[in-house]
Structure 1
Amino acid sequence: MFVTFEGIEGTGKTTQIGLLAEDLTRQGKRVAITREPGGSRIGRELRRILLSLETKDLCDRAELFLYLADRAQHVAEVVRPALADGMTVLCDRFTDSTVAYQGHGRGLSPDLLRQLNDTATGGLAPDLTIVLDIDPEIGLRRALSRNLETGAQVSEGRFEAESLAFHARVRQGYLALAAADPGRIRVVAADAAPREVFASVRAACQEAAARHG
């Protein structure tokens, strides 16, 4: 299975991916954890450009095409080989991020973004997408606190520096995506304790696994 995790900043994607990986490993499944941007060797270079406050002058279209380049390399180098090897792939962000951030957040055409995503992935789509949902003000507060603790406020703080209104648009974009594709996308409230959130994540994964066979 290919499972992606989405949401605005500070929703706890990394924590939930770790909990799910532990749970699946206990079940005897082989798991690959990856992320966008930065899941491949080339992607790690692109991540530095895309997330750093030092590149806050990056224009919207340049940002878009760097994300697409990261995704194309990531799918070819990491995701497809892992799936072909029978692994369960857990990915922190994928195509829905582009539609939510560059589409709803930046104002680029969602239809165009879907076409470009399809080109970048060669048509690969997740079996399940978990959207971790939280109030943008709470999420940003969490994300800024995390960046301060890890020392990443400059190196990975470009999106946290966006306005609250931007993050509200992104959140609404995710909810619109979920409403349009309820068979693939599950929205999980992310404002509870991590283990409580994980109970919902685990239930969604078990349901998807049953469908996947």
Structure 2
Amino acid sequence: MWRKRLIQRNMPALRFKTCRLLPGNVRNRELSLIQRRILRRLRNKRRSIKRNLSQRENLNSNIKSQTTRKLSLYYGDLPIREMHRGRERTSYIPFLLNQETRSDVIPVRLRFSDTLPQARQPISHRRVCLNNGLVTITHFKVSHGDLISFKENDARTRGEEIRRSFYIDISVGKIIGKFLPVRIWRRTKTEWFRLLTTQRGCRLLLKS
């Protein structure tokens, strides 16, 4: 009993309650036994429901609402309405990739910060520079070729923890990241998923 109580005290209960409506571990963290049971019950409850025509329509709307919840849990307050303003042929992949160009998401991808709130704190405190100029807007959109760096007092050598990505160039010694132009964003939705199904296709996407 005392072990269960100790686990419950160490686990962030408030953050899990926000994800409790979703049948999955959104933040990819280690869950306690009680939290795993809750997720297991949610999954079993969805499988036991009989799907008829009327329930399929409700299921599609439920999937859309869960997707917007997952996006808002990770990226924060998002302009979800922009997903429905484009033409019918436009896919959702450019919208998701546009969120990856935000000034608070890029430091997380560069491994300068571990989480989005941790990346937004130095931006609000005027410690992050974009092209040698201070940035105070957390959702500022970064363009191709922009340099993201920290001030000299806040720069720390974290070369081993920094991961390289196919659209970001990193200078470990100076703690500077550069956003590279990506031709992959022009690909269509069907071509994306067709290449992602095979290992060779994933390599082609990374090399392009």
TM-score by length of 1: 0.24
Question: Over alpha carbons, which structure has the higher Rg?
Answer: 2
Higher relative helix content: 1
Q: Which has the higher contact order (CA 8 A, sep 6+)?
A: 1
TM-score by length of 2: 0.24
